[in-house]
Every structure is written in structure tokens, then in C-alpha cells.
A and B are shown apart, each in its own frame.
Chain A
Amino acid sequence: MKINRSTKPAPQGKLEINLPAVEKFNTDGDVPFYFVRKNDLPIVNLRLIFRAGSKADPVGKTGLTYMTSMLLDEGAAGLSTFEIDAGFENLGTGFSISTTQDSIYISLLSLNENLEQSLDLLGKIVNSPDFTEESFGIEKHKLVNKIKRKNDDPAYIAGNAFENHLFKDSGYAHPALGYSDDIERITNDDVKAYYKKYLVRENLTLLAVSSIDSGDLEKLLKQYIFPVQIGKTAVESISLNPEEDGRFIFVHKDNSAQSEIRIGHRTGLRGEENYYSKILLNTIFGGQFSSRLNLNLREDKGYTYGIHSGFNYYREAGFFEISTSVQSEVTHDAVAEIMKEVTKLASGITDEELKFAKSYLIRRFPALFETYGQLVNHLTAMINHDLPSEYFATYLDNIRSVTKKEVENSIGLINPSRLNTLIVGNKDTALEKFKNVENSNFSMGNLKNV
């Protein structure tokens, strides 16, 4: 049969969408426990979230949260770090600890048949870390060198310098890894004190995506994970300085073949009502491959391998950021083109753009819950921002109901005069054309400070 290729085939039939049901209850007194049943494979993905992130690092001791979390599995309850690691490997269990600005995540991916033994190890790590002087010395040394290595990466430098500028003098100003000079000042006693203060029951939330029953899982958690040490929530709220007008900051890095560009400013919190308008706006502007920014700077001009924008959210702050890396010689042209796109936003969006953005967000939603790990990450975001447990169930309607007017109202949240531009690149090839930037607004960043 000869087919007609000239038009796009229409979808065949409608689909029924099943979104995961999130159960939320309290366990062992008052620890919140989020649970999603998923039976695809005989596995359990579990995460402990302690509400204690790098924003709680003391002034002059950035990196303390990261150090503490990294030391948890460097020996616990009489087991050496090697015994712990071999234990997990023998069980085929994935175990990881990570530190963000707002939280510490301790995660476990285990086969059902090895879950109990995995939890036994996890309980030892959470409840009885040894914090020996020897491990402390080794990990501190490692961290300082790790930062050295990361600081060769222009994208890492740019991201840190940009957020440092947006959030200066607050707990969000420094990277979770901390700064080397500060880390040299941290002592093992600092680590022990941090652990005692922050890794406590009132700071803990549990979540699991599991092929075993919530009741059975809870029993195991009670037996192996609790008691987590008793203690009160201790993380203090951060305070942010009022934001100034946008600045232009250039950080010179020798021999850069490209310029890393970050443009943006602070915006509102995740919980604000216009969240869905902002998602739609950003989808159109720079949130995916077919966005205005990418079609212009990549698919038309060829300046970059890719450009992206997003509204980003910490628990207590938010910011809008455009990020890309471009060939050094076209740095100025690329920034000018980005600013042109920002300015163009003021004339609004089209009906087609909104239709596309809604279709994109709505139809892809069910696929976001395909793997255990994806679900764990979505639940984590939900917990971090105190979203209601019916968040998934109401998401689609929330997107559908946004009007064009509402999206256009949110355009005003991106304010051209407040946008900061930060570039990490080679001043000899990238900076020349920026000579019109007003002196009062311009500064050279220093690689040593970022």
C-alpha cells in the first residue's frame, strides 16, 4: 500500500493516564514517610532526607555539611569503610550520599532479597558513624584536591560565581563543596557537632519507591533505621540582601576556547502561585530544544552546542538563569542575541507557542515516572518544597488551566535591567566588544575567589 507522506499522521486513539499514587504517613512518632508502590521489578529505592544542607555551613567553614555527609560511611559501628563498601557490593546494593544547598540525601537501591541486610548497614551508617581522626584527615585532603580539580572546569566556575553574586553574604552564596581555605579550618569536632545538631529525627523525611508493601517496609525501617538520634530542627532561615541592579562580571581564564555565559537574576519561591505560568513561559523561551533561545542561537546562528534557561528553586530562594557556552569570538554577539530575545518577550507569546508548550508538558508527564530513580527524584522535589501529596494528581489540570494572559503576566518577572551577566572566558578574544558596558556596572571577577 502506497502511503501519503505529505502530512503528519494523527495520533491513534486516546490514552488512559495512570499517575503514581503517593501515600504519606508518619512513622516512628512523627517522621514523615512518603511511599509509592511500584511493582515493575523486585527492587526498593529508599531515600533519607535530612533537612540540613550547605546553607547551614558556619561562616568561614563552608564545606562542613559536605564533609560531615561524606564521613558518615567512612567507618561506622565498628565496621571499616572497606567493610561497609564490600558489604553493599556483595549485596548488589547501590548506596550514595549527596549534599545539596538545602538537604543531605542518603539513598539506597536494593534488590528485595537483600533489603534487610542493606538496611542493617544503612542503619549503622546513619546512627553510629565513627568519625575517626584518621578518616577525617583523609577526606579533608581529598575534598581540597577535588575542589582544585573542579575549579579547572569553566562551567563549574561560572555556575558558582554566578550564584555567589546573586546570593552574596547568604547561605546560598557558596557551593556545597565549600571553599578550600574554609575547609582547612574545619576540625573533626566541627563534624561531630554538626552531626549531633542536624542529623536528627525532626530534620528527617523518608521516602520510598518500592515493590514491597509499605507496612512491611516500615517494620524493617523501625528495626534498622530508628532510632535516629532525637533532636529539634535546627536549620535557621537564611536572610538575603536586597538585590541590586544587574551587573556585568567577566572572569578571565587563560586559553579558553569558549566563553561560559550565565545571565539572570533572583526570582520568587517554588510555592508561589505563578509556578505553572512560569513553567510554560520558560518552556517557550529556553526550557527545551525547540525553544526560542535554542532555535535562534544554535539552529539559526550556530553560536553554541546548546542554550538553556530555567527558573531554579532552592527552598528559600529562587532565580532565573540563562546558560550557554559559545565560541570565544562570538561572545558579544551571543549576549546581544540573548538580550534581543529577552526584549522580544515583552511583545508576548503566540497561541501556537502556548499550545505547543502545554502539549509538551502534559503529554510527557506520565513518562516522568518510568524508573524507580525518577520517581524518587520527583518525590524529593515535592518534599523539599513542601508540596501537597496530591501534587502529581493535580499537575495536569494546573497546566491546562493557565491562560495566555497569565503566561504573559509572568513575562514581567524577567526584568532586563536587573539581569546580571557573568562570563568566564578569555579576555583577549571575548571582552573587546563589551567596551560599551558602563564602568560603574562592570567588574573583573577573580578566579581565586570563585
Chain B
Amino acid sequence: MSEILNLEYLKYPLENGLEVILYPKPGIPVVSLNLWYRVGSANETRGKTGFAHLFEHMMFQGSQNVPKEKHFHFIQEAGGTLNGSTSIDRTNYYESVPSNFLEMILWLESDRMGFLLDALTRDKLDNQKSVVMNERRERYDNQPYGRAFETLFSNLYPEDHPYHWPTIGWMEDIEKFNLDDVTSFFKKYYSPDNATLVLSGDFETENAKTLIDNYFGELSSNGGVQKITAKDFELNETKEIILEDDVQLERIYMAWHSCEAFHEDDAILDVLSDQLGGSKNARLYKSLVHEKQLALDVSVFQYSGKYDGSFLIIATAIPGVDTEVIKEEIKSELRKVMVDGITDEELTRSQNSIKSTFIYSIQNLDTISDHINYYNFYVGDPNYFAKDLARYNNTTRERVREVCEKYLSKPHVELKITPRGKNENK
């Protein structure tokens, strides 16, 4: 099975520092282009949150040779699909098109990497600020429990920590951005030497190399972006927060400070999260949802980035059940893992399901391209699929017990989202 996960790729830099990774994959006549810029919300500062994401929107507003609305139009006309996304660590842009349109997408991506500012206007910025404010309303403010994660992370991470604020940004910050912000952000971060271009799919390598060199080779770089630092920190005591929302069911969130992505404990925490909440047999699911029927659902995950990470447990209470009772049950299940560990059977189950997830995940070219960039960014090895899987296969029962104790016995942030007005009656 491991040969399926081995990708033959070619990685090389252009003279201006742009990193290029080619993964030829004959098959359906489609090519997928995936660009990662090494800038995310972690690069922002207080008062300027949400800018990496707002800027991502501006990248779809046209550039020197591409009129507004035409970036989408040209790719869609070619039968392609496209989008972009911003995370805490990076911003990505991707499109896949029939393979004979390869040159066109290289033209589009290079035009906005090199010549975005030539087409920038106040109207475009105002329009996209309004779109993003509506995105924030739709996905966070008008969404049940939608403000949970930003509340959790801004309480877990200290004020000067790069993961303290949400990627979408605070509304009052989004409102304030001006054209100078766009210009200086572009000059600082959207430089060829701060990006990696992955091309996958049906293409001839020599032709692709020539085209990439033609379109991207002449763009100039600004010589390096300052590295981010995240100071280590510890919570001295557990913080308890209550947030009211327009919901009928109370929900409890518990968040612990854990470790960054690809830290030696990272994959083990993933396995632990599967043991606790990943299936019907998972310990918290079985106890909270099925046996004791205290919760409607439970989810558990390790959420890690380049600089830090957190481990989260979330449960929605059945009406009439106090989330305090749920919390005690969670703690008691965690203690069991800390004392007795997990069984061989449990570990094997997680490992088997993770293995097949890896195989199912390599069906789609866009996903493969993005994964190549992901591995390249976090571990410097585009072909890390099999090694990543090995992280899970090499997990032991003792290590699961160990990380559970190491991280989850510490103080944490506890957030309860309650129906509006509920606390007035208490």
C-alpha cells in the first residue's frame, strides 16, 4: 500500500527565490496549480487583525492585465475551478483547469503576484471590506455557537501571541483598513521568495518548467520576510468563561495548550482525540452520548499550526443537563486514560481508520497539490505522505497515555455557551 503514497516530484527554486514543485500525474487531462504564500493571520498585529484574509479577497479583484471579475471569469470559462483560503499560518490560491489551459493560469497567477497594485482602487477595497464583513456575519456572528473559537483562542493564547485573534479578524479592525495597508502588505508578503508553487497533473515537465520560468522568473523579490516568534507560555489557572448566544442547547468547550504541528506529540494527540471522540466506540462518545445520555454530540481534536497548538473537547448538552456534570464526566474519562492508558484493540482501530483515510484522500488533484504544499511548508518534504502515516502507525499505547497526562492535566480554558437570559435566572 505504501507505493500508492509515494509521489515522484521535482523541486527547484527560481532565481528570484520562488520555490517550484512539479508533480506530473498522467490520467485525466487536468492540471492543478496551488500557490502558498507564507503569510497568515499569525503575521498580523493587534488592531490590524483579519488583514491576511481581506487581502486574499483583493487578489481576486484583478491585476494590471486582468480586469476586475475576469480572474474568476477566465478560469470558469475554461471549465476550471478556483478559490483561495487563509489560515493562521498561510494563504493559498488554487485552480484546476483542463490541461491545455496551463499557460493561462500561470499568466493569471503571475500577473497578480507581480502586478496587483497597478489595478488597485478604493472602490474595490470598499466593496471587498463589505463582502468580508458579511462573510463574518454569515459564518460567525449569525451562526449558532459561531463566536466560540475566537473566544477560546483569545483567552487561551496571550495577547501578543500570533494565534490570539481569529483569521477572519475583529469587525472593528476590518472596517478600518485602507489602501496603504493593502500596498504595504503586498510589498512585504507577496514576494516570489515568500511563496511556493505546486503544479500537479497532466503536463510535460520541460514545457511546464519553461512556462513557469517565463511567467514568474522576471518578478522581483524583496528579500525575505521577518520570522514570527511565539513565546512559550503556561496558563497558571483554569479560566472559566460564559458567553450567551441565540441557542437552545448549552455547549461546553475545553481547550488546553498543546504543541505545534509535527511536534513529536502532535500525531499522538490526534490518535488520542480519535480515542476520545472519533467514533461511536470513542470513550467520551460512548459515555456522554450513549450510555449516560448527557450530551447530544461530542467532538475532540488537536488543532496545531506552525508555532503552537491546542487540544479541544466540545460537547453539546441535552436539555436539562448541567454542563458541569458533563465536565466532570469528561474529567473522569481523561483520568482513566491517564492512569490505565488505552487498549491494543483501541489503538489498532484508530490506526486502521487513519490508514484508509490517507488512501481515500489522494483521489482529488487539488487535494494532492495542497497536501504537497502543506508538507513542504511544515516539514520541508513534499513527499511526506508515507512518513506522515508512519507517525500514526508508530504510536504506542504508552505514548497516548503519556501525552494525555502531559497536556490534559494542566489548567485550561473552559467556555460555556448558554441560551440568552439563562444566567439571569440562576
Task: Mark A residues whose CB is within 8 Å of B.
Answer: 1-3, 5-9, 11-18, 40-43, 81-82, 85-86, 89-94, 109, 111, 138, 141-142, 145-146, 148-149, 151-154, 253-258, 288-290, 295, 298-305, 325-327, 356, 359-360, 362-367, 369-373
Partner of B127, one of A6, A146, A302, A371: A302
Whether A364 lies near B81 (C-beta < 8 A) is yes
CA distance A250 to B79 in the complex (A): 39
Whether B249 lies near A145 (C-beta < 8 A) is yes
A85-B279, A289-B72 provided; 10 other pairs, C-beta below 8 A?
A: A1-B214, A5-B107, A41-B4, A41-B362, A152-B246, A356-B76, A359-B79, A364-B80, A365-B79, A371-B364
CA distance A41 to B132 in the complex (A): 39
Q: Which residues of A contact B357 (CB under 8 A)?
A: 92
Whether B352 lies near A5 (C-beta < 8 A) is no
CA distance A299 to B60 in the complex (A): 10
Q: A14-B100, A288-B76, A302-B126 are in contact. Are A258 and B353 (CB under 8 A)?
A: no
Q: Within the complex, what minimum Cβ distance (angstroms) separates B388 from chain A?
A: 16
Partner of A257, one of B73, B142, B360: B142
Whether A145 lies near B296 (C-beta < 8 A) is yes
Q: Within the complex, what minimum Cβ distance (angstroms) separates A148 from chain B?
A: 5
Whether B138 lies near A258 (C-beta < 8 A) is yes
Whether A6 lies near B77 (C-beta < 8 A) is no
Partner of B349, one of A86, A149, A253: A86
CA distance A299 to B110 in the complex (A): 23
Partner of B281, one of A82, A305, A362: A82
Whether B214 lies near A360 (C-beta < 8 A) is no
Closest B residue to A371 by CB, please name it.
B363
Whether B134 lies near A302 (C-beta < 8 A) is yes
Whether A41 lies near B138 (C-beta < 8 A) is no
Q: Is residue B144 within 8 Å, beta carbon to beta carbon, of the partner chain?
A: yes
Closest B residue to A114 by CB, please name it.
B356
Q: Which residues of A contact B64 (CB under 8 A)?
A: 5
CA distance A148 to B359 in the complex (A): 36
The B38-77 residues at the A interface (CB cut-off 8 A) are: 64-65, 68-69, 72-74, 76-77
Partner of A364, one of B79, B132, B249: B79
Q: Which residues of A contact B134 (CB under 8 A)?
A: 258, 302-305, 325-327
Q: Within the complex, what minimum Cβ distance (angstroms) separates A377 from chain B?
A: 13
Closest B residue to A15 by CB, please name it.
B29
Whether A5 lies near B138 (C-beta < 8 A) is no
Q: Within the complex, what minimum Cβ distance (angstroms) separates B102 from chain A?
A: 7
Whether A257 lies near B141 (C-beta < 8 A) is yes
The B127-154 residues at the A interface (CB cut-off 8 A) are: 127-135, 137-139, 141-144
Whether B78 lies near A11 (C-beta < 8 A) is yes
Per-position binary interface string of chain B over residues 99-113, scored 1 when its CB falls under 8 Å from any chain A CB and 0 otherwise: 111111001001100
Closest A residue to B144 by CB, please name it.
A152
CA distance A289 to B81 in the complex (A): 10
Whether B296 lies near A142 (C-beta < 8 A) is yes
Q: Which residues of A contact B29 (CB under 8 A)?
A: 15-17, 366
Whether A366 lies near B102 (C-beta < 8 A) is no
Q: A41-B4, A366-B28 are in contact. Are A89 and B73 (CB under 8 A)?
A: no
Q: A82-B281, A92-B352, A305-B134 are in contact. Are A2 and B218 (CB under 8 A)?
A: yes
Q: Is residue B316 within 8 Å, beta carbon to beta carbon, of the partner chain?
A: yes
CA distance A40 to B359 in the complex (A): 11
Report, as a range, how many residues of chain B touch the other chain: 35 or more
Q: A327-B133, A359-B79, A363-B98 are in contact. Are A12 and B103 (CB under 8 A)?
A: yes
Whether B360 lies near A43 (C-beta < 8 A) is yes
Nearest 4 Cβ contacts at the A-B interface = A363-B79, A92-B356, A302-B130, A364-B79
The B329-362 residues at the A interface (CB cut-off 8 A) are: 348-350, 352-353, 355-357, 359-360, 362
Chain B at the A interface: SS class: helix
Q: A89-B353, A90-B348 are in contact. Are A153 and B296 (CB under 8 A)?
A: no
Partner of B138, one of A290, A299, A305: A305
Q: Which residues of B contact A369 (CB under 8 A)?
A: 28
CA distance A366 to B245 in the complex (A): 45
Q: Is residue B209 within 8 Å, beta carbon to beta carbon, of the partner chain?
A: no
Q: Could you give 18 example pairs across A and B, Cβ below 8 Å? A: A2-B218, A3-B218, A5-B65, A5-B111, A11-B103, A12-B100, A41-B4, A86-B349, A148-B248, A299-B69, A299-B127, A305-B131, A327-B133, A327-B134, A359-B77, A362-B79, A363-B80, A367-B28
Q: Which residues of B contact A2 (CB under 8 A)?
A: 218
Q: Is residue B280 within 8 Å, beta carbon to beta carbon, of the partner chain?
A: yes
Q: Which residues of B contact A43 (CB under 8 A)?
A: 359-360
CA distance A92 to B279 in the complex (A): 12
Q: A3-B214, A9-B103, A305-B134 are in contact. Are A366 and B111 (CB under 8 A)?
A: no
CA distance A110 to B279 in the complex (A): 17
Question: Which of B135, B141, B349, B364 has the most C-beta atoms of chain A within 10 angstroms of its own C-beta?
Answer: B349
Whether B248 lies near A149 (C-beta < 8 A) is yes
Q: A5-B111, A85-B281, A325-B142 are in contact. Are A304 and B131 (CB under 8 A)?
A: yes
Q: Within the complex, what minimum Cβ distance (angstroms) separates B327 from chain A?
A: 19
Q: Within the complex, what minimum Cβ distance (angstroms) separates B74 from chain A?
A: 6
Q: Is residue B196 within 8 Å, beta carbon to beta carbon, of the partner chain?
A: no
Partner of B137, one of A90, A142, A145, A257: A257
Question: Which of A148, A300, A365 has the most C-beta atoms of chain B within 10 angstroms of its own C-beta?
Answer: A148
The B209-235 residues at the A interface (CB cut-off 8 A) are: 214-215, 218
Q: Which residues of A contact B77 (CB under 8 A)?
A: 356, 359-360, 363
Q: Which residues of B contact A366 (CB under 8 A)?
A: 28-30, 98
Closest B residue to A38 by CB, please name it.
B363
Q: A6-B65, A81-B280 are in contact. Are A145 and B319 (CB under 8 A)?
A: yes
Q: Within the complex, what minimum Cβ distance (angstroms) separates A12 from chain B?
A: 5
Q: A152-B247, A299-B127, A327-B137 are in contact. Are A89 and B279 (CB under 8 A)?
A: yes
Whether B78 lies near A302 (C-beta < 8 A) is no
Whether A254 lies near B79 (C-beta < 8 A) is no
Q: Which residues of B contact A85 (CB under 8 A)?
A: 279-281
Whether A41 lies near B281 (C-beta < 8 A) is no
Question: Which of B218, B247, B360, B420 has the most C-beta atoms of chain A within 10 angstroms of its own C-beta?
Answer: B360
CA distance A109 to B363 in the complex (A): 13
Q: Which residues of A contact B144 (CB under 8 A)?
A: 149, 152-153
Closest A residue to B29 by CB, please name it.
A15
Whether B76 lies near A13 (C-beta < 8 A) is no
Q: A152-B247, A302-B128 are in contact. Are A360 and B79 (CB under 8 A)?
A: yes
Closest A residue to B129 by CB, please name it.
A302
Whether A40 lies near B78 (C-beta < 8 A) is no
Q: Is residue B20 within 8 Å, beta carbon to beta carbon, of the partner chain?
A: no
CA distance A254 to B107 in the complex (A): 48
Whether A360 lies near B360 (C-beta < 8 A) is no
Q: Which residues of A contact B362 (CB under 8 A)?
A: 41
CA distance A141 to B290 in the complex (A): 11
Q: Which residues of B contact A326 (CB under 8 A)?
A: 134
Whether B69 lies near A89 (C-beta < 8 A) is no
Partner of B286, one of A82, A93, A327, A360: A82
Whether B102 lies near A12 (C-beta < 8 A) is yes
Q: Which residues of A contact B72 (CB under 8 A)?
A: 289-290
Q: Which residues of B contact A373 (CB under 8 A)?
A: 363
Q: Within the complex, what minimum Cβ distance (angstroms) separates A338 from chain B?
A: 15
